[in-house]
Chains A and B, each alone.
Chain A
Amino acid sequence: QVQLVQSGAEVKKPGASVKVSCQASGYTFVNYGIMWVRQTPGQGLEWMGWISSYNLKTNYAQKFQDRVTMTTDTSTRTSYMELRSLTSDDTAVYYCARSYGDYGSYWGQGTLVTVSS
C-alpha cells in the first residue's frame, strides 16, 4: 500500500534551518511528485511547494521562495524539505503528500517543528 513516512519532530532555535524527510513506498515513485504543506498552531493548511520526482523540477509558494529548498533522492525514494532562517512563526506540523501537483492523494504522518529560543 502507498505509504509516506516522515522524519521525527525537531526543535530549532530562531535563525536555524530544518530539513524534513519523506520516504515513499508502495507506488512507482517517479510517476508522482511530492508536495509540502504545513499547519501552524490554530491556523489552517498552507501550501509550500511541490517537486517532481521525474525531473526534479520545483515550484515554490511565493511566501517561501527565498528560504525553502525541496530535493529528492530517487535512489532512496526520499524527498526533503529544508526551511532556513526559522522564526517562531514557522512552528508548525509539516506534511508531505504524493501529488501530481494538484491535490495530495496520500499524506505522511506529519513532522512537528518547534522554533524556540
Chain B
Amino acid sequence: EAQVTQNPRYLITVTGKKLTVTCSQNMNHEYMSWYRQDPGLGLRQIYYSMNVEVTDKGDVPEGYKVSRKEKRNFPLILESPSPNQTSLYFCASSLQLHNTGELFFGEGSRLTVL
C-alpha cells in the first residue's frame, strides 16, 4: 500500500529536549516536505526536499532542521523545542517535481511542548 508514515503520532515533551519526527514514504517520490498546521493559520511549509541531499527552507523554517540522506526518509528535527512549536505536523511527498501541489500526506504528528 502506497503511504507516507510518520512517527511518533503523538508526543508530549518539555522545552529544550531535542526530538526527531520521522517520515518515510514507499512510493519512490523525489519531493518531500514538512508542514505544520495551526488553528486559524492553515498549513504552512517548514522545509522541503527535491531529492537526496537537496533541502530548502519553506515559509516557517526557524527552529527546525531536516536531512535527506535516503530518498524514502525525511526526518524533522527540533534541536531545542519551544512551546510555540506545539502544533500538528504533516509530512508529505509528491511524485512530480514540477507539480508539487499533488501531495500525499502522512497521518500527522501532534506535538505538545511544555
Chain A partners chain B? no
**What residues of chain A have their CB less than 8 Å away from a CB belonging to chain B?**
none
